[in-house]
Structure 1
Amino acid sequence: MHNVCLLNDSFPPLIDGVANTVVNYARVLKSNGYGVSVVTPENAKADDSAFDYPVIRYPGLDMSKQIGYVVGQPFSPSTLKRLETMDLELIHSHCPAVSNMISVEMRALLDIPIVLTYHTKFDIEIKKALKNPVLAKGVIKMLVNSVSMCDELWVVSRGAGESLKDLGYKGDYLVMNNGVDMKRHRSDEALVKDVTAGYDLPDGIPVFLFVGRLEWYKGIRIILDALAALRSQNLDFRMVFVGKGMEEDAIKAYVKELRLEDKCFFTGPVYDRERLAAWYTRGDLFLFPSTFDTNGLVVREAAACSLGSVIIKDSCASEGITDGVDGLMIEENAASLAVCLTRMIEHPEAMKRIGQAASDNIYLSWDDAIKTAMDRYEVVIDNYKKGLYPKHNKPMDELFAFSGKIFGL
């Protein structure tokens, strides 16, 4: 078995989808006999004693109040010195920002290959964070250049790969699906009652569910406008939002504006996986009208609990799903969602059928997903030893020169 180093800009106690991915990669690799280490920024709240593998933290600046993350310092001699002693055979970066910059330094030092998994449409995040379009364009070009420095690029969906090519990436990519850490099961009725106590969720009234960041780009306006249309038809329903986000207050204000306060409930984030599974079990349909997400792990989590999803046609989340069989496809607008939900309210048995098919057809565990990745690790290491990947001479100098051209430095 091989010795693999995983890198990401987020890791517990900071939890997001990619941090969860890294935790599961480490768990499954370790259980299969691999040597595993994780490299991530320092976090004052971190307690890494719970992990049975080294977590190597490098200096970072806490920007959690501004952007929700700790921004790492990529040039840490002490970190590289420690990594040099660990007999690593492969670097697997999960972020094209600071983590990938460190990965490039490690490759130059250790002469081992880099796999980069591209999880998120970072260009959308960058444009949102940087109001200056010229600056945003420059940072996106730097991101694409960073991605191009890896030896093999993995993407979590074909749509993610094509999105990256639209930004200027010229290389190849391999689709490597992510799994979910939620076991295929429906929660015990007693737990469901405990978790949902205090919310007005009458039996026989359909419950729609959303899990994720409360941000407009997740398609939440489409959801709320569709629900308003249902109410205008005197159709009864309940809507539960699980999560938090920078635009939560604005979303709640819009709920009030649409007079949906008696139909919509906000639970806040639910970090306990069993309690989250209870929400998936209580739901009748999962609403995910997002074109931002590259994979939509929450759709697979819902499937683990036999909950079918409504997704945007031709979105990344729709890959591998058959409309009307194990999911429901809509156009990216509220009218299309309203028509879909009206049909489901009138035919509740269809929601159960689609949910069961989702569990049977689209569920993928992390154990199965990472076993596929492990097989590919073997190929990457062998290809690198044979010199089949392009050489990157003085890669960090290339990056700095590139960024200097962009910003006129």
Structure 2
Amino acid sequence: MNNSSLKIGLFNECFPPIQDGVAQVVENYARLLQERGNDVTVATAKVPFFDYSQPYHVRNFLSIPVLMRMPYRFGVPIWMAPFQPIMKYNADIFHGHSPFTAGRIALKLSRKYNAPFIMTFHSKFRDDFRRSVPSDTIVDLMIKRIMSLYEYADEVWIPQPAVLDVMREYGYKGKVEVVPNAIDYDLGNQDINILKAESRCKLGLKDNEICLLFVGQIIYEKNIQYILDSVKLLKDVPYKMYFVGKGYAAIEFHEKIKQYGLQDKIFMTGQLQDRSALQVYYAAADLFLFPSLYDNAPLVLREAAAHHTPAILLEKTTSAEVIESGKNGFLSPQGQPSVFADTIKKVLSDKKNLDNVGKTASETLGLRWSQLMPEVEDRYRHLILRKQNG
């Protein structure tokens, strides 16, 4: 078992062409585990007419669009499509990254073939449900339903310790293993100062202009309104702010930027599938603004850090657990937008310290997927042996 190739199944509703943090996790797992000589299959919700050609296998299950959260898709429940090809897929280990249809299929197959079943907890689902479901009682039932899946898992993984608090709040009582997220950017011996200067030039930034950045879904849950209300107060700061991403609230925030009269300062790029194009923004930025109450362990925080771009987060949030304020990032008290704006101004007032914090961020938050995958594969092998030995 130690040297043999593993047959690994990764299950998630979301996968390119639909992109978010969890899809990126699954994509990197698949790519690197395949490169390590394993036989990897990603099982995901089918997007019609999309070419899923990859160096690894991609198998689809039937899906329907999530109208309240386009472009996401939701897998058709197993009982409605029990004979689709994915239901015959066999593997040495099944790893679910979504507690919806994808995770349910992984559980069913793991039982069918007596193989280990892992679930990773990625998201604050209650926040998602509350936006589209008007009844707290129904939301509670939905949370109970999805959390039951984690109780069936042989192991439950979380990306950082504070995520366990969210799971306990949702009613999960079992054990967890901490397996961190990582990044795919590797600057190697590249001179970060040259990269930053070149990136600023590509964006047309002036020498005296501060570059502020947000990368992620353009949705209310990410606290984007709070960011807009905060940067609106930076009247004495020569800045440019870039929002990279797409989401259901993009049009509304476009209008809000116009309403604030900030079209010449705040720009929305849309989603950038090209990782090198996204890197230009990470490298050009002076500060990454991420006051989200919604995220657990955002990859974008680490990706910015890899480019010596430190972030400002809100105190007492799950994602802030990895930040030591003034060392590898900055924390702002939760409060009115003026509080966040004041924190931005204070951070920008000390350029030397900002640079030092950016450097430390790159050293402490820059774990790469290639460094993590040997641990992941080792965990898989131990879990398979444990299952085989009863």
Same fold by TM-score greater than 0.5: yes
- Name which of 337, 344, 348 aligns with 1:345: 348
- Alpha-carbon distance between aligned partners in 2 of 1:42 and 1:204, rounded to the nearest angstrom: 47
- Alpha-carbon distance between aligned partners in 2 of 1:379 and 1:386, rounded to the nearest angstrom: 11
Q: What aligned pairs does 1:228-239 form with structure 2 within 5 A after superposition? A: 228-231=232-235, 234-239=236-241
What is the SS of the residue equivalent to 2:234? helix
1:324–1:354 Cα contact (<8 Å) kept: yes
- Name which of 15, 18, 24 aligns with 2:22: 18
Aligned partner letter, 2:85: T
- Name which of 266, 271, 274 aligns with 1:272: 274
Aligned to 1:71: 74
How much does 1:153 deviate?
0.4
Q: What aligned pairs does 1:37-186 form with structure 2 within 5 A after superposition? A: 37-49=41-53, 51-63=54-66, 67-75=70-78, 76-80=82-86, 82-84=88-90, 88-184=91-187, 186=192
- Alpha-carbon distance between aligned partners in 1 of 2:203 and 2:238, rounded to the nearest angstrom: 18
TM-score by length of 2: 0.91
- Name which of 190, 196, 206 aligns with 2:203: 196
Aligned partner letter, 2:384: I
Which moved further from structure 2: 124-133 or 272-281?
A: 124-133
TM-score by length of 1: 0.87
Aligned to 1:330: 332
Aligned partner letter, 1:162: D
Aligned partner letter, 1:180: I
What is the SS of the residue equivalent to 1:116? strand
Which moved further from structure 2: 32-41 or 220-229?
A: 220-229
| Residue 355 in structure 1 maps to residue 358 in structure 2 | yes
Give unmatched runs, 5+ long, in structure 2.
none
What is the SS of the residue equivalent to 2:248? coil
2:20–2:217 Cα contact (<8 Å) kept: no
- Cα deviation, 1:237-272, whole Å, max 9, x if unaligned, reads 221111121112222333333333332111111111
Identity percentage of aligned residues = 28
Number of residues of Structure 1 aligned to a counterpart in Structure 2: 378
How much does 1:179 deviate?
0.8
Aligned to 1:392: none
Cα-Cα RMSD: 2.0
What is the SS of the residue equivalent to 1:343? helix
Aligned to 2:302: 300
2:28–2:184 Cα contact (<8 Å) kept: yes
- Alpha-carbon distance between aligned partners in 2 of 1:9 and 1:253, rounded to the nearest angstrom: 31
2:156–2:176 Cα contact (<8 Å) kept: yes
2:87–2:109 Cα contact (<8 Å) kept: no
Aligned partner letter, 1:12: P
Give unmatched runs, 5+ long, in structure 1.
388-409
2:243–2:269 Cα contact (<8 Å) kept: yes
- Alpha-carbon distance between aligned partners in 1 of 2:18 and 2:246, rounded to the nearest angstrom: 14
